[in-house]
Amino acid sequence: DQQVKQNSPSLSVQEGRISILNCDYTNSMFDYFLWYKKYPAEGPTFLISISSIKDKNEDGRFTVFLNKSAKHLSLHIVPSQPGDSAVYFCAARDSGGSNYKLTFGKGTLLTVNP
């Protein structure tokens, strides 16, 4: 049972345009949501996070939106740059415990074309 779902395996956008990556979840106990970016031959790196008590968090070109009623979050990248081309993983943390185990989606491959 996939608790974190990224339904789009890939996304292609033009440089300068907006990239929107989507993520759905099923577990109401998730209290933190994170986005990780992964380049080939590297480990995932943290990009941005949002607490379940907020609906928006912004960091430069990256904004994450959370819609708790729909159990949906999205990552907006504006403007998109070729260097943003990578696999983006959505992840969620279960609030039931002191550990920081994250549940990941399968990832979305973003390609930004020059």
Partner 1 sequence: DSGVTQTPKHLITATGQRVTLRCSPRSGDLSVYWYQQSLDQGLQFLIQYYNGEERAKGNILERFSAQQFPDLHSELNLSSLELGDSALYFCASSALAGANTGELFFGEGSRLTVL
Binding site for partner 1 (CB under 8 A): 4, 6, 32, 34, 36, 41-46, 49, 51, 89, 91, 93, 97-107
Select 4 or 77, whichever has its Cβ closest to partner 1.
4
Give the nearest distance from C-beta 16 to partner 1 in angstroms.
Answer: 29
Give the nearest distance from C-beta 10 to partner 1 in angstroms.
Answer: 12
| DSSP-derived 3-state class of residue 64 | strand
Sign of CA dihedral 67, 53, 62, 112: negative
Select 85 or 89, whichever has its Cβ closest to partner 1.
89
Give the nearest distance from C-beta 79 to partner 1 in angstroms.
Answer: 25
Select 22 or 49, whichever has its Cβ closest to partner 1.
49
Cis peptide before 79 (omega within 30 of 0): yes
Residue 11 near residue 109 (C-beta atoms within 8 A): yes
| DSSP-derived 3-state class of residue 82 | helix
